[in-house]
Amino acid sequence: MQTQKPSVSLIRATSYEREALRESLVILLEPFGGIAAFVKKGDRVLLKPNLLTGSRPGKECITRAELVYEVAQMVIEVGGKPFLGDSPAFGSAKGVAIANGYLPILEELNLPIIDFHGQRYQTISDNFNHLRLSKEAMEADVVINLPKVKSHAQLTLTLGVKNLFGCVPGKMKAWWHMEAGKDANRFGEMLVETARAINPNLTILDGIIGHEGNGPSNGEPRQLGILAAASDIFALDRAMVEILNVPPEQVPTVAASQRLGVCPELTAIEFPHLNPDLLKIEDWRLPDKLMPIDFGMPRVIKSTFKHLYTRFIKEPISVYGRN
């Protein structure tokens, strides 16, 4: 039986103004059958933006509130029940969102915003069969992943797969930075397995204005004029590294998805609108210097988190996957 090719929708989009952005999203999702192809009446729909920090508003470190607003509106119009969630590195999801201008959309749409709570899940991976993930993400009827295009001082780029690390509750993020941070390949594989477990139904990537240089928060805004969408998160990330002119092997998440056999070859991806070569950016700025993933944590802190992790893995294990 012939397997259907994954499809990545790529379009030019230059404005966050509501009417123009709505029109862009309709065009972007048209090849898939629109938002109704993903959301049915009564579905509880997690919208997972990048809510990294509240300390640099205006620096395009997070997913734009305007994009979240339009996607939430589309979900509501087809009868879905959207809610926002994330696990920021610092502060609460609501605090970070409000610091970045989300309050008007939260109030206008009566949109709940939650912090994630962890539960241990068994996965299909032998190396990572004990992932502690957001209960809210795993139990949502639909997950719509809303990442931001950014350079990243530890992982070169953060795209769709990396954004789902936000579905790992806060203290466990620190654990994984230490447990797998000595080996970028292993850390990349952990992120890929997290993405496979969360299994987002749809990823819509905010590349209208990206964040280049010393990201994920210490770089600068960069006009890209791109929106991207796919149900296959690994195909989307593969297309985006091509657009940004970054070799896949330099991005641990993309390299890991290739090693694990979940990343399609570029030639095996369908592009119903624009091909990546028509959107190519030749001078996208990467970090000046890559930092260690494990932050060089002192051994005593590592020991403390190891103790906490040992306690975590005594919890009951839920079965793999959302769908």
- The model's pLDDT over 109-123, given as tens digits with 9 standing for 90+, comes to 999 999 888 887 767
Residue 155 pLDDT > 50: yes
296 or 236: whose pLDDT is higher? 236
How many CA atoms within 13 Å lie on the side-chain side of 267?
0
Specify the pLDDT at position 137.
95
Asked whether the whole model's pTM tops 0.85, one would answer yes
Report d(CA 27, CA 100) in Å as an integer: 27
Report d(CA 300, CA 307) in Å as an integer: 11
Q: Quick check: 248 and 258 in contact, CB under 8 A?
A: yes
Per-residue confidence band for 311, with pLDDT thresholds at 50, 70 and 90: very low
Per-residue confidence band for 56, with pLDDT thresholds at 50, 70 and 90: confident
Domains of the chain as residue ranges with CATH: 8-312 (3.40.50.11440)
What are the helix (H) ranges across 180-298? Answer: 184-198, 233-243, 252-259
Q: Look-up: residue for tokens 């990537």?
A: 205
Residue 302 pLDDT > 70: no
Specify the pLDDT at position 184.
82
Pull the structure tokens for residue 119: 């539960």
Tell me which residue of 90, 82, 71, 87 sits closest to 205, measured CA to CA: 71
Strand partners, 118: 134
The fraction of the chain above a pLDDT of 70, given in percent, is 83
Question: How large is the C-alpha radius of gyration of the chain?
Answer: 18
Residue 172 pLDDT > 70: no
Report d(CA 265, CA 257) in Å as an integer: 11
- Residues in contact with 244: Cβ distance below 8 Å, sequence separation at least 6, in sequence order: 149, 157, 281, 284
Tell me which residue of 89, 238, 220, 229 sits closest to 165, measured CA to CA: 89
Report d(CA 177, CA 187) in Å as an integer: 8
- Residues in contact with 161: Cβ distance below 8 Å, sequence separation at least 6, in sequence order: 191, 192, 194, 195, 233, 234, 237, 253, 254, 257
The fraction of the chain above a pLDDT of 90, given in percent, is 70
Residue 300 CB neighbours (<10 A): 7
Per-residue confidence band for 178, with pLDDT thresholds at 50, 70 and 90: low
Tell me which residue of 105, 241, 256, 276 sits closest to 193, measured CA to CA: 256
Per-residue confidence band for 300, with pLDDT thresholds at 50, 70 and 90: very low
**Residue 254 C-alpha from the chain's centroid:** 13
Pull the structure tokens for residue 167: 């579905």
